[in-house]
Amino acid sequence: MSDRKPKLRSTSNSSRPDRSPVPRDGAPRRTGRSSPARGAKSDFAPRGGKGDFSPRSSSDSGRHSPKTDRPDSSFKPRKSIPPRAIESVNRVEALPVNEPTEESTDLIYGRHPVLAALEGERHLNRIWILPRLQYHPQFHSLLAQAKSKGTVINEAEPRRLSQMVDGANHQGVVAQVAPYAYLQLSELIQRAKSATENPVIVVGDGITDPHNLGAIIRTAESLGAQGMVIPQRRSVGITSAVAKVAAGALETFPIAKVINLSRALEELKDAGFWIYGTVADSGKLLHTLEISGPVVLVVGSEGEGLGLLTQKKCDFLISIPLTGKTPSLNASVAASMCLYEVYRQRWSNRVQLRAFS
């Protein structure tokens, strides 16, 4: 047998050819990380006791310090600004200091309300209008008259007008009006009696919705009523929203504001008026009651209706018959139905008188 011993394979890497891939773009050749020698302790070898797997420090391993040892350079976003704050800033920048705002003055907007104010010769401090609308045949002469009386006329863009009325439908024109001039109750009674033999006056008890009040004013004026009475407390006053819904009726329809509604009803009684109060039930049906003479129609709010003290001051309580499942009507709708019945009976009586004459 041969006495040759097998040759051991050399473990040196010097004689082995380098097989690492050569980058095509000529970049420096990457070298792989050398693995620890066989039998050497791992970075996470147990130390001390059972279950201790704490890693070696970065100084021992020669590696970079972990990310947790570095200062925190994470991005901290700025605090977000509430949308309302942004909107308020934009509004302040959009409205110059020398121009009025909705909080400091009362504005009316829309073609019909502004035209009615101009035709009624109501004092307007300033008018903002679109350039193309300023020379419209409906506005041109009226704007010239208002300007001659001291009203300032300003041309404005649609965006500016929308900012002034909080996005409402301005129809190209906004006007700043003087505060509404309420009448005294005695003056309202005198005007009503001088206008007709059997006047009709509407009284609102606790109506807080401006749309309801504006609708009642519009209906009462269109049917021929002589005025309205509202209390100073627990009721909405004449605002821009009321004027918008009234659609110009305020220019020819007087409003009286009283401190004590019960005393006002007593004063109306002394002046010869019959007081009719609207209630949801327990009243006489509207179509079965003969309504004649000077009339005061008292309308309560939809939620609470007439107060007990107000009901005691009424001569008659009337109800509208309802056959559906809805338990009550809107205050402005109830007022409209009652006012129509009052004037329907009067028109019917006139027709009968003409037929017999």
Write out pLDDT tens, residues 189-239: 999 999 999 999 999 998 999 999 999 999 999 999 999 999 988 889 998
Pick the most confident of 7-11, 81-85, 228-232, 249-253.
Answer: 228-232
Above 90 in pLDDT, residue 3?
no
- DSSP H helices in 95-226: 111-119, 131-134, 137-148, 158-164, 185-195, 210-223
Nearest to 190 by CA among 89, 272, 119: 272
Residue 99 banded pLDDT, cuts 50, 70, 90: very low
Average pLDDT, the chain: 77
Residue 90: predicted pLDDT: 43
Mean pLDDT in residue range 136-147: 85
**Distance between CA 304 and CA 302 in Å, rounded?**
6
Residue 108 banded pLDDT, cuts 50, 70, 90: confident
Q: What totals of helices (H) and strands (E) does the chain contain, helices first?
A: 12, 11
Q: Which two tokens stand for residue 3?
A: 């006495």
Residue 96 banded pLDDT, cuts 50, 70, 90: very low
Mean pLDDT in residue range 161-168: 85
Maximum Cα interatomic distance, the chain, rounded to a whole number of Å: 161
Of 16-30, 98-112, 126-140, the poorest mean pLDDT is in: 16-30
Above 60 in pLDDT, residue 25?
no
Dihedral sign of CA atoms 129, 253, 257, 194 in order: positive
Residue 4: predicted pLDDT: 54
Of 8-22, 115-129, 226-240, the poorest mean pLDDT is in: 8-22
Pick the most confident of 108-122, 132-146, 190-204.
Answer: 190-204
Name all domains of the chain by residue range, CATH numbers in brackets: 92-177 (3.30.1330.30), 185-356 (3.40.1280.10)
Residue 28 banded pLDDT, cuts 50, 70, 90: low
Residue 354: predicted pLDDT: 66
Residue 102 banded pLDDT, cuts 50, 70, 90: very low
Give the CA count within 13 Å in the CB-facing half-sphere of 107: 25
Task: Tell me the sheet residues that pair with 109.
Answer: 174
Of 92-96, 224-228, 300-304, the poorest mean pLDDT is in: 92-96
